[in-house]
Amino acid sequence: MALLAYLKSLFILQLLMGFVFVVSGLIINFIQLCTCILWPINKRLYRIINCRLAYSLWSQLVMLLEWWSGTECTLYTDQATVDKFGKEHVITILNHNYEIDFLCGWTMCERYGILGSSKVLAKHELLKVPLIGWTWYFLEIVFCKRKWEEDRKTVFSSLNRLKDYPEYMWFLLYCEGTRFTEAKHQISMQVAESKGLPKLKYHLLPRTKGFTTTLQCLKGTVTAVYDVTLNFKDNQTPTLLGIVSGKKYKADLSVRRFPVEDIPDDEKECAIWLHKLYQEKDALQESYKKEGKFPGPTITPKRRPWTLLNFLFWATVLLSPLINFAYGVAVSGSPLLIIGFIIFLIIASIAIRRLIGVTEVKKTGSSYGNPEAKKEN
């Protein structure tokens, strides 16, 4: 085990995995671009193909969580709720406290067969991120600038296009709008006090506009809202770098299902419902801090082999020519080739590190609390 942990910590192995992810992602993005000719001819086929292509990319990240780091994910919910997973269109609400919260959500999507068709309301800046933003663009992800007057038309049209989506989807919402930090929490609670809303201890005040708009547009398509509250055993603070280094975490997810018909239609009443939901999420987190677990029965869905097999396929296709090329450079004795290859490795490592940096708490910011930012709620 010590030897395996050591191997996982080797930078060269991490770099090779990053190389596989980046190059396979660029290949997938190119194929996605080619599928655009299908959109006016057969939109359903275009969507099915792009779901499979997105799965091939995202599952590599899920593989890191499930197989490389061996992170465990336990659900706190009932069997009746689990029986509906992957069999209905839903809106999923997840707390935004950790660097890898999205990976835990993707893991659940993968284990119930809907990773490729999962959706998210994402900030517009991510559209410019290579691989991630480009793949999401072809997957019809809804992007917003978090300025409602600018977003209104785009968000409505993007959501309305998803009404006839051919595969079951989980539409992920981070209703807090940005990742939790102590500084943002202080500002958020000042806003709560000014609006006469109950203060939250473990969450930011939810931004209701995104949720009410999504629910309004997708009503008739989505049948339920899943409230997911995530925490980690032993006060762990997981990071994507930790996952890449093979560090194991233990994630607990409390999942509650709310039928759409039980949620108010009126926008103001719906906003009140969301605020109440976050008060309940706060109580769940308080219970977790005291008891070390969420209330209710536990279910641990088994990981599937497809993420590992998908990565091994791409690694076989891409690493063989890379290793052959590196060997040729080494035996050539050409200083120019060797220096050029070293520069390539340095650039590749920097690029991969920047991609990882997109998830880091200290590097992911927003205009939250900026007095010049326009209020959305």
Residue 58 and residue 103: Cα distance in Å, rounded?
9
% residues pLDDT > 70 (the chain): 93
Mean local confidence (pLDDT), 248-253: 96
Tell me, what's the pLDDT at 366?
52
Please check the confidence at residue 289 and state whether its pLDDT lies above 60. yes
Residue 115 and residue 172: Cα distance in Å, rounded?
12
Q: Does any domain span residue 141?
A: yes
Mean local confidence (pLDDT), 317-345: 81
Q: Cβ(88)–Cβ(114) under 8 Å?
A: no
Mean local confidence (pLDDT), 23-39: 96
Residues 6+ apart with CB under 8 A from 290: none
Tell me, what's the pLDDT at 10?
84
- Report the mean per-residue pLDDT for the chain: 89
Dump pLDDT digits (tens) for 159-197. 999 999 999 999 999 999 888 999 999 999 999 999 999
Phi, psi of 249 (to 5 degrees): -120, 165
Kindly report the CATH number assigned to the domain that includes residue 106: 3.40.1130
Q: Cβ(100)–Cβ(240) under 8 Å?
A: yes
Q: Does any domain span residue 161?
A: yes
Mean local confidence (pLDDT), 297-301: 95
230 band by pLDDT with thresholds 50, 70 and 90: very high
Tell me, what's the pLDDT at 1?
66
Please check the confidence at residue 263 and state whether its pLDDT lies above 70. yes
Q: 3-class secondary structure for 154-192?
A: HHHHHHHHHHHCCCCCEEEECCCCCCCCHHHHHHHHHHH
Nearest alpha carbon to residue 116 among 94, 86, 143? 86
Total number of domains in the chain: 1
Please check the confidence at residue 371 and state whether its pLDDT lies above 50. no
Between 86 and 342, name the one with better pLDDT: 86
Tell me, what's the pLDDT at 373?
44
Residue 99 and residue 101: Cα distance in Å, rounded?
6
**Residue 228: how many CB atoms within 10 A of its CB?**
21
Task: Please state which of the ranges 3-7, 85-89, 222-226, 252-256 shows the lowest mean pLDDT.
Answer: 3-7
Which residues span the domain enclosing 278? Answer: 40-305
Please check the confidence at residue 367 and state whether its pLDDT lies above 80. no
Tell me, what's the pLDDT at 215?
95
Residues 6+ apart with CB under 8 A from 174: 94, 95, 96, 121
What does the block give as tokens for 362? 């200290």
Q: Cβ(238)–Cβ(98) under 8 Å?
A: yes
Q: Does any domain span residue 269?
A: yes
Q: Does any domain span residue 347?
A: no
Q: Does any domain span residue 124?
A: yes
Q: Does any domain span residue 177?
A: yes
Please check the confidence at residue 53 and state whether its pLDDT lies above 90. yes
Tell me, what's the pLDDT at 359?
53
Dump pLDDT digits (tens) for 119-152. 998 888 888 888 889 999 999 999 987 777 778 8
Residues 6+ apart with CB under 8 A from 225: 90, 91, 92, 93, 215, 257, 258, 260, 263
Tell me, what's the pLDDT at 14?
85
Q: Does any domain span residue 351?
A: no
Residue 91 and residue 153: Cα distance in Å, rounded?
20
Tell me, what's the pLDDT at 376?
43
Pairing of strands 90-94, 224-232: parallel
Mean local confidence (pLDDT), 11-23: 88
% residues pLDDT > 90 (the chain): 68
Tell me, what's the pLDDT at 360?
55
How far is CA 224 from its chain centroid?
20
Between 233 and 344, name the one with better pLDDT: 233
Q: Does any domain span residue 331?
A: no
Please check the confidence at residue 243 and state whether its pLDDT lies above 80. yes
Residue 166 and residue 169: Cα distance in Å, rounded?
9
Tell me, what's the pLDDT at 147?
75
Please check the confidence at residue 363 and state whether its pLDDT lies above 70. no
Residue 44 and residue 170: Cα distance in Å, rounded?
18
Q: 326 exposed, middle or buried (CB, 10 Å; 0-12, 13-18, 19+)? A: middle
Mean local confidence (pLDDT), 265-284: 96
Mean local confidence (pLDDT), 249-268: 96
Please check the confidence at residue 52 and state whether its pLDDT lies above 50. yes
Q: Cβ(207)–Cβ(191) under 8 Å?
A: no
Between 271 and 3, name the one with better pLDDT: 271
